[in-house]
Chain A
């Protein structure tokens, strides 16, 4: 069986320079007869330091792939050249699952997996680079939930990936810490990019377009990791998110209205700046509380400390969609202002004040429109309630979190 795998051992000198004590072999897997078994076996038998090189061509796979070896690079011949197709998949919950540390996945495509596309669970230093994850039939509730899916991971780098057709989020980072998502394209997903129940994330230079919602920063109850905080969303193009929501009901993103740009829900210390927002029919930016009932004493349901500044806003808010769009526009009118805050406040704070670090701040160019829907006022004091559209009243700032540095990205 080993003869199927050609192992090219690098000269010891090179290995010593590049990877310290690790030996480094290259295991090549070419397309063709028996490719699935050879690929499965290569990923299982790889040793720390190895590179599994997947050749150009299509690989038709019937089971999910998995990697559980530390310090391995899995490399294809390009995100259009090496295609792992899971159209005929009969088992497993995802296309490729990584459960080890210091792993790099790059230059290949994962298509039509039955569940999620590429997942890492519990990985430290996991890199997704120049991957394409796609459901080739376009938006469909039967597609898998997440495209690129690091969860319960640490030091996560998503760089230059393209994700299309995910029935939940194209790029989804959950319950993780130290995260960079950059230079990536998310289109025709329900959510383009979603950072959920995670700490310390930089999301920048991405393009989120033709999703239902572009970029979501969420926190949910009843999960082992919650209380998401310290997130920077900047220099992204979040434009023309105009795909009707196709998420199966029951999933949180099923509430996201078509035409949502950037949505911040129940997170803490979130900075949204220098983004270009255009053509988002419901609202460019929405800051909101978690809307459902829940049973969790440790959960904070309102966003705390959100700073929105220096973004540019094009056309938008002209076609508020769904229940959320209606709730907003019933109060704000149409077109919906560029930035919407539901204004939900915890009851003690409603009767007193919200401390400076927990407030919502907006500092935008002249002409940017804003509304605080003051939703709790609507519930509690229907006779004395009105929305607040005075953007000047929210001017201020919050200290920005330090840039996220990752060990695999020549960071700390």
Chain B
């Protein structure tokens, strides 16, 4: 009996279809999906500072149709042509002390650039890890693993429903990509054993046009890099983890709290700013950021919380990120 044929190359028909394919495999993004080996033309990338998603390990890929390129932008996500796709797989290791082993793929999210704009869909991996199925209404997945310190960790992970995708990926009401921004791609990655700057690599592959030399492009630090300035690390973390909503064009514009990397007005990024709609999220504290007083700062209260209605971000997180909280704490302590 013949095995089910696996599509070797990405399918533009699948990307542009009005009704999304039921199975992830129908897109043909992977040569070997289980090991996340991409098909030809599907380019892996990494981000200098990634979004925290319950400590999920992530595999990110960009696909551009033959002969087409994304247009560089210094501040916002690159402008991708119709037919482009961004693919992100979320996985959990059985044991965080052995990241490469027993990786369980949980979901793969795709952003598809269609004629009318971006479409966002999430695919839930089956238990056999052979394929993933479209989940419009989202899903809950029980995760049981071992933390880096050896303690057991169990929680319910949420695959977002279609509207929740837009809960973060909205810019003035339309869906946009968040990851592929110059400042977050401007760093090295390893391609077939060769280390290369990603902007330079994308330009060489002719899937990116208009990019300056990496030295001339903006660069956000790796938030965990102790050699980078504390202020940059904290602002890079807030940019990626908060500013998709907390920006003038985002879902949380009405809060008046704007956490993009380039925001220069201190009260706008929270310094001595009073809350407007925080409710119990205020934690009885008066200001979003009170310099020198992390325990008097609402921002830290909400980053440290795991309680719905209090925790931030309000989507995509169920467990705490103590390293991030420690960074923000130090940032506020040292703030004048």
Contacts and interface: CB of A to CB of B under 8 A. Distances in A.
B204 interface: no
B1 interface: no
A45 B136 CA distance: 9
Interface stretch (A87-95, A261-269, A310-318): A87-95
Interface in B243-299: 248, 251, 253-254, 256, 267-268, 272-287, 298
A116 B161 CA distance: 19
A252 B314 contact: no
Given A41-B136, A44-B136, A68-B163, A223 B276 contact: yes
Interface stretch (A141-149, A233-241, A338-346): A141-149
A1 B136 contact: yes
Contact of A248 (B156, B248, B253, B279): B279
A252 B161 contact: no
Interface in A29-81: 37, 40-41, 43-45, 62-63, 66-68
Interface stretch (A167-175, A368-376, A392-400): A167-175
B161 A115 contact: no
Contacts of A116: 277, 279
A40 B140 CA distance: 13
B51 to A, nearest CB: 16
Most chain A beta-carbon contacts within 10 A, residue among B164, B309, B318: B309
B300 to A, nearest CB: 13
Given A63-B161, A174-B277, A250-B284, A115 B136 contact: no
Most chain B beta-carbon contacts within 10 A, residue among A92, A144, A172: A92
Most chain B beta-carbon contacts within 10 A, residue among A143, A145, A151: A145
Contacts of A41: 136-137
B167 interface: yes
A354 interface: no
A207 to B, nearest CB: 23
Interface residues of A, number: 53
Most chain B beta-carbon contacts within 10 A, residue among A93, A143, A224: A93
B173 interface: yes
Nearest to B134: A1
A177 to B, nearest CB: 13
B279 A168 contact: yes
Contacts of A164: none
Given A224-B253, A295-B267, A250 B308 contact: no
A90 B308 contact: yes
A145 B277 contact: yes
A143 B280 contact: yes
A296 B266 CA distance: 11
A66 B137 CA distance: 11
A305 B273 CA distance: 28
Given A248-B284, A250-B278, A115 B137 contact: no
B232 interface: no
Contacts of B253: 152, 224
A43 B163 contact: yes
Contacts of A66: 161, 163-164, 167
A141 B280 contact: yes
B56 to A, nearest CB: 15
B166 to A, nearest CB: 6
A62 B140 contact: yes
A45 B285 CA distance: 41
A146 B277 contact: yes
B315 interface: yes
Contact of A151 (B163, B164, B254, B275): B254
B146 interface: no
B217 to A, nearest CB: 30
B21 interface: no
A3 interface: no
B88 interface: no
B254 A152 contact: yes
Contacts of B298: 250
Contacts of A309: none
A141 B164 CA distance: 27
A40 B122 CA distance: 14
A110 interface: no
Contacts of B68: none
A41 B139 CA distance: 12
A263 B40 CA distance: 65
Most chain A beta-carbon contacts within 10 A, residue among B166, B267, B274, B318: B274
Given A44-B163, A222-B273, A248-B280, A93 B254 contact: no
Contacts of B201: none
A63 B278 CA distance: 19
B41 interface: no
Interface in B160-185: 161-164, 166-167, 170, 173
Given A66-B167, A174-B277, A99 B173 contact: yes
Given A44-B136, A91-B314, A145 B280 contact: yes
Interface string A144-168: 1110010110000000000000011
Contacts of A225: 254
A248 B136 contact: no
Nearest to B277: A145
Contacts of A93: 308-309, 314
A146 B314 CA distance: 16
Most chain B beta-carbon contacts within 10 A, residue among A115, A146, A175: A115
A122 B280 CA distance: 23
Pick the 5 closest A-B CB pairs, nearest first: A145-B279, A114-B309, A250-B282, A66-B163, A249-B284
Given A44-B162, A63-B164, A172-B277, 18 more contacts: A44-B136, A63-B161, A66-B163, A66-B164, A68-B166, A89-B308, A91-B314, A99-B163, A141-B280, A145-B277, A145-B278, A151-B254, A222-B267, A249-B282, A249-B286, A250-B274, A251-B279, A251-B282
30 contacts: A41-B137, A43-B163, A44-B137, A66-B167, A68-B163, A90-B156, A91-B158, A92-B164, A97-B163, A114-B309, A115-B308, A143-B279, A143-B280, A144-B279, A144-B309, A145-B281, A149-B277, A152-B254, A167-B279, A168-B279, A222-B273, A223-B254, A249-B282, A250-B278, A250-B282, A250-B285, A250-B286, A251-B282, A294-B274, A295-B267
